[in-house]
Amino acid sequence: VSDLVVASHRGPYTVTFDERPFAGLERPGGPRVHAIVDRRVAALYPAELAPVLATPSTLCLEASEASKSLDRFPAYVQHLVGAGVRRGHVLVGIGGGVIQDITAFLAATLLRGLDWEFYPTTLLAQADSCIGSKSSINVGRLKNVLGTFTPPRAIHIATAVLGTLRDVDLRSGLGEILKAHAIAGPAAFDEIAADYTRLRAERVLMIRYLRRSLVIKQAIVETDEFDRGPRRVMNYGHSFGHAIESVTGFAVPHGIAVTIGMDLANHVAVRLGLAQAAHYARMHPTLAANYAGWEPAGLSVDALLAVLGTDKKNGDGALGLVLPDAEGRVAYALHPNDARLRAACAEYLAGLGDVDMGAGVGA
């Protein structure tokens, strides 16, 4: 699988695909490296990570939203500085999106900035979050409210480590892969939808769609690294998804919530007269398969809309939503938070999105 080179405001960085997990962690003669490692990954790969785990400065953390909460950072900083982190050293994140956010945020701020590298170990991190420069951490109940644009120096992907992921974490990553293809357009989505049931068993196929997701995202983030315009389409499924995550107390994994969010966005777009019912019906079977077991039926529409009203992408008095248009292409626009939107959400949460509009589902 060929490498990618992503342009950023700090210069280009490389995404390499390596068969050997955690290859290149030891580079004798280079600057000192300090690792931040997902505890679960450390337990699953003790041999491959032995040198890292034996290094006193290594931080082993649980991959949870609490771990990327601002109140945990004093302990991280004290540990790293106490263990000898100095300017010119390099941080290395080994784990999923949680470890990425912690490593990138520390790299942005510790000693006014350190270089960092990333070994993504979840499908979500490999296919989506690893590129795009963003770091975000939580403050109390406010998720991803502090953040920076801090591209890494290099990203090392070893798809072999996906073999130990739980099914729910695979599906979470697949949610972002489906999102990228939906953004690329109906033809790209139909192609992955046709292969969806084979993806988990066929690694070569999975890697092809994983890499293509990165290529789709790369073109967008290179155009708008700082998320001021075109990059907003990457948030397809995310306003609704974040609201679902928040309302359920983060019981629904991010990429699963995004999958539901796309389905809900499609339903809302049809009800607002923006998209065709056929668009909802075309995507629904694949999206529903990906969020199976996490159906949002029964969630409170009041709670959902309350969270939606606080989204980062909103304008004054209006909701900033990414919705499909008549051609099935997604676009960001401001929409009034009115009775029509509320009715569409309520209908979907009552489980009627499917029944009502599903004529021709499966076509």
Of residues 148-187, which lie at the interface with ligand NAD (CB under 6 A)? 161, 164-165, 169, 172
Q: Name the minimum Å distance from CB 143 to ligand NAD.
A: 7
Nearest-angstrom CA–CA distance, 69 and 229: 28
Site stretch for ligand NAD (CB under 6 A), options 124-132, 187-195, 231-239, 331-339: 124-132
State which residue has the least CB distance to ligand NAD. 97
Interacting positions 64-93 with ligand NAD (CB under 6 A): 65, 68
Q: Can you tell me which of 76, 102, 127, 132 binds ligand NAD, judged by CB under 6 A?
A: 132
Contacts (Cβ under 8 Å, ≥6 apart) of 93: 35, 36, 99, 100, 102, 103, 104, 116, 117, 118, 119
Residues 235-264 that bind ligand NAD (CB under 6 A): 254
Binds ligand NAD by CB under 6 A, chosen from 13, 49, 97, 155: 97
For the segment 28-67, give every residue that binds ligand NAD (CB under 6 A). Answer: 38, 40-41, 44, 63, 65
Between residues 158 and 270, which has the closer beta carbon with respect to ligand NAD? 158
Q: How far is the CB of 124 from ligand NAD (least distance, A)?
A: 4
Considering the complex, what minimum distance in angstroms separates the CB of residue 129 from ligand NAD?
3
Among 8, 16, 109, 144, the residue binding ligand NAD under the rule CB under 6 A is: 144
Provide the token pair at 81.
């500085």
Q: Which is nearer to ligand NAD, 135 or 276 (CB)?
A: 135
Least distance between ligand NAD and beta carbon 208 (Å): 20
Least distance (Å) between residue 115 CB and ligand NAD: 17
**Residues lying near ligand NAD in the complex (CB under 6 A):** 38, 40-41, 44, 63, 65, 68, 95-101, 121-122, 124-125, 128-129, 132, 134-136, 144, 161, 164-165, 169, 172, 254
